Amino acid sequence: EAGVTQFPSHSVIEKGQTVTLRCDPISGHDNLYWYRRVMGKEIKFLLHFVKESKQDESGMPNNRFLAERTGGTYSTLKVQPAELEDSGVYFCASSQARWQAGVQYFGPGTRLLVL
Amino acid sequence: AQSVTQLDSQVPVFEEAPVELRCNYSSSVSVYLFWYVQYPNQGLQLLLKYLSGSTLVKGINGFEAEFNKSQTSFHLRKPSVHISDTAEYFCAVSARGGTALIFGKGTTLSVSS
């Protein structure tokens, strides 16, 4: 069974540009999460989808970030326009049930560098 | 709200030595507790979890952790480490019924021969 995949693995962009990150969860997982780790800081929750609906977006930093999950399969996270402080590693995770014994399966992350 | 403190940012040890990675948490409600590991260039992998029941939890790769409610701790231990255990380890909590994981800053375990 394929794990959570993320694309791209790395992205280097200039301040003011737009970047779109993609996450493909494990097949059949209704729950999809986005997290971010800024260098030197802890991994922080951004938002949670249940199928195509946003269940919790309390961690989204501002309105430059837009997450979608059309059709309840893969998800995209768009940053527009990107700022220097957006640099970090963006992780996606998925789980089968709303709370399946806490098992969220993580992808390898996308490393974003904004210059 | 919950918070997690990993007391050591880096832990260097020699191969076959025992190791303990410390984690303390703060929460006004009951929580679930987790340890995740990130090997170089890989995603986060669940090592073990505490949901309820026995306070001593065994995970993969010979790791175990003990939940101590009075000390609000969930320290990770391994009696004998290998070079391959070199990785970054994250302690995380989640409120029961919640879904967002709250992570500590991570502890880098470096095992040398």
A8 upstream amide cis, omega within 30 of 0: yes
| B6-45 pLDDT tens trace | 999 999 999 999 999 999 999 888 888 999 999 988 889 9
For the cut 70, the answer to whether the pLDDT of residue B95 exceeds it is: yes
- In this complex, how many residue pairs, one in chain A and one in chain B, have their CB atoms less than 8 Å apart? 59
Q: Which of B32, B51, B103 sits opposite A43 (nearest CB)?
A: B103
Distance from chain centroid for Cα A24 = 10
For the cut 60, the answer to whether the pLDDT of residue A100 exceeds it is: no
Report the chain B residue with the minimal C-alpha distance to residue A105. B45
Give the pLDDT of residue A2. Answer: 79
| A47-75 pLDDT tens trace | 999 999 999 999 999 999 999 998 889 99
SS3 A52: coil
For the cut 80, the answer to whether the pLDDT of residue B84 exceeds it is: yes
Segment of B26-35, B72-81, B91-100 carrying the highest mean pLDDT: B72-81
SS3 B85: helix
DSSP label at B96? T
Distance (Å, whole) CA A44 – CA A59: 8
Distance (Å, whole) CA A10 – CA B71: 40
Give the pLDDT of residue A1. Answer: 65
A104, A105, A110, A111, best to mutate vs chain B, most B CBs in 10 Å: A104
